[in-house]
Amino acid sequence: MISLEFLLASAIGLLVATGIYLILRARTFPVVLGLAMIGYAVNLFLFATGRIQVNAPAVLTETSKVTDPLPQALVLTAIVIGFATTAFIVQLALRSRYESGTDHVDSKEEINPIDPREDEP
């Protein structure tokens, strides 16, 4: 039977691999999605550092299994910060698209400049 730790590690690895693949694309929207996926992988990793316990309370008692609530608080904070960062990156991407006329990350796409000699008779 597959353990919970193996499934969690596989999910983190898949999210990181997909995020890196998307970051290497030439368009801004896949780059934003790749950064978000890597952020989700980091959140899962932080959550897993608090030990994976099924049906364990966050409040410690003498007979309960130990579950650390600190990683859960860190993940909640990281989710809020990640959302704000993603919104900021989307705004930067939209502004870049508006200013340059293209959504390429490196602006190497062929842009047809206006030739001033075309207006001459």
pLDDT in tens, 36-90: 999 999 999 988 887 767 676 667 677 666 667 788 888 999 999 999 999 999 9
Quick check: is 119 in a domain? no
Q: How confident is the model at residue 23 (pLDDT cuts 50, 70, 90)?
A: very high
The upper half-sphere exposure of residue 63, i.e. CA atoms within 13 Å in the direction of its Cβ, equals 0
Cross-strand bridge partners of residue 27: 104
Does the residue 76 lie in any domain?
A: yes
Write the Ramachandran bin of 107: left for phi over 0, alpha for psi from -120 to 50, otherwise beta: left
By the 8 A CB rule, do 58 and 70 touch?
no
DSSP 8-state code for residue 97: H
Q: Which helix (H) or strand (E) element contains residue 50?
A: none
Whether residue 111 lies inside any domain: the answer is no
Q: How confident is the model at residue 121 (pLDDT cuts 50, 70, 90)?
A: low
Q: How many domains does the chain have?
A: 1
pLDDT given for residue 20 in this prediction: 96
**115 falls within a domain:** no
Q: Confidence class of residue 28 from pLDDT cuts 50, 70 and 90?
A: confident
Q: What is the CATH number of the domain that holds 17?
A: 1.10.287
Spatial CB neighbours of 111, under 8 Å, sequence gap ≥ 6: 100, 101, 102
Is residue 82 situated within a structural domain? yes
Answer yes or no: is 98 within a domain. yes
What is the pLDDT, as a whole number, of residue 50? 76
For residue 77, give its domain range.
4-54+64-105
Confirm whether 121 is domain-assigned.
no
Kindly state whether residue 72 falls inside one of the protein's structural domains: yes
Collect all residues with Cβ–Cβ distance below 8 Å to 75 and sequence separation of at least 6.
43, 46, 47
Does this model's pTM top 0.75? no
Mean confidence (pLDDT) of the chain? 82
Q: What is the pLDDT of residue 106?
A: 73
